[in-house]
Each structure stands twice: as C-alpha cells, then as structure tokens.
Amino acid sequence: MIEKRFPILNGPSLPWAMVEPCANQVKKNHKQTLKRLAERGGLSPSEMVCALEGKLLSWLWYRGRDDDYYRRELTERLAAYEGKSELADIKKLEKENAELKAKNERLEKFCAEFVWGEENPDEYKTQENKIAELREKLGELVVDKHARRCFYKDTIKDGKPMCDCVFGQIRNMLEGIVND
C-alpha cells in the first residue's frame, strides 16, 4: 500500500499523517483544505514550516522567507518523524555525553577534595587509594538498593543528616548528583 503524501514545492513530500494535525492552521493561512492544496501542487517549504509551527503567514515576514533554510528544516523534521534522524541522534548523544562529563567532573572534584580522618593512616597510604575506595563505595551504593537504604539510615540522626561524618558528605554529594 502506497502511503499518501503531501507535496512540497522543490522539497521532500511529507507523509499525510505528519501534515494532517496542522490542517486547521493551513486552512487559516490559505483558506483552502489540505486536499485542495495538494491537488494544486502543495505548499512552499516556508509555508509548510509556518503551518507545522502553528503560526500565521505573517510570522514569515519577521523570520524571513529563505526557502533553502526551510527545505533543510523540513528534511530534518521528516527524518525525525520517520525515525531516521542521524542528526537528532548525534545531538541527543552529545547532550547525554556533556551531562555525564559534568557529573564525572563533580565526582572527580569531590573525590580530589575528600580527606579521610587519621584513624587508620596505614590503611590509606595515598590519595589515589582513598579515591579508589570512595568510588567503590559509591558504586556499591548506586547498584545495591539495600546498601543505599542502610546508607541513608546511617547518615541521618534525629531526622537531620550527619554532614560532619564521611557518609554524610557522600550522601550530600549523591543527593546533589541525583537532583541535577
């Protein structure tokens, strides 16, 4: 079965299902139905983007009417609609990567600034060992629900977080990461 498509002048034709939700806006802008416009050759790329945005044609006067720009935008929207948008995937991955880098930097900063007490100086010889152990404990807390529950119980005294203890500091840091 061939999918019904709406023609765009000098641009990609769009699936009817993608265009149909903006039928009322097209009728406001052009005083014609989608079917009639399709019979007459469709819309220009800028007019179609205007309709998809839910804007009147006067919107184009302010934004400019560069059909090449709007043709590219329609091509990108079509790819996203059809699930083939590599550009959208790349942007999403870049955003996730930036968020993970920011969280990792905060964790690195916290680990670098973290100072263990002098109770067992033989146990923690170097700063790297301290950081490695802290990461291990944080990893256990992230993965193990039971450990997380015990951790939160142990870091609260009389309904208030014990910020002066090591676990209280870790708890505050974890809450900061979770809340971001």
Alpha-carbon radius of gyration of the chain: 28
- In tens digits, the chain (180 residues) has pLDDT values of 577 889 898 888 898 888 999 999 999 989 999 999 999 999 988 889 889 888 888 887 777 777 788 888 888 888 888 876 556 667 777 788 888 888 888 877 776 665 544 444 454 455 566 666 667 766 666 666 665 566 555 555 665 655 555 566 666 666 666 665
Helix, strand, or coil here: 120? coil
pLDDT tens profile 70-81: 888 888 888 888
Predicted confidence (pLDDT) per residue in 130-157, tens digit = 666 667 766 666 666 665 566 555 555 6
pTM: 0.45
Beta strands in the chain (DSSP E): 5-6, 14-15, 156-157, 160-161
The structural domains of the chain, with segments of one domain joined by +, span: 5-81, 90-179
Rounded to whole angstroms, the Cα distance separating 153 from 97 reads: 33
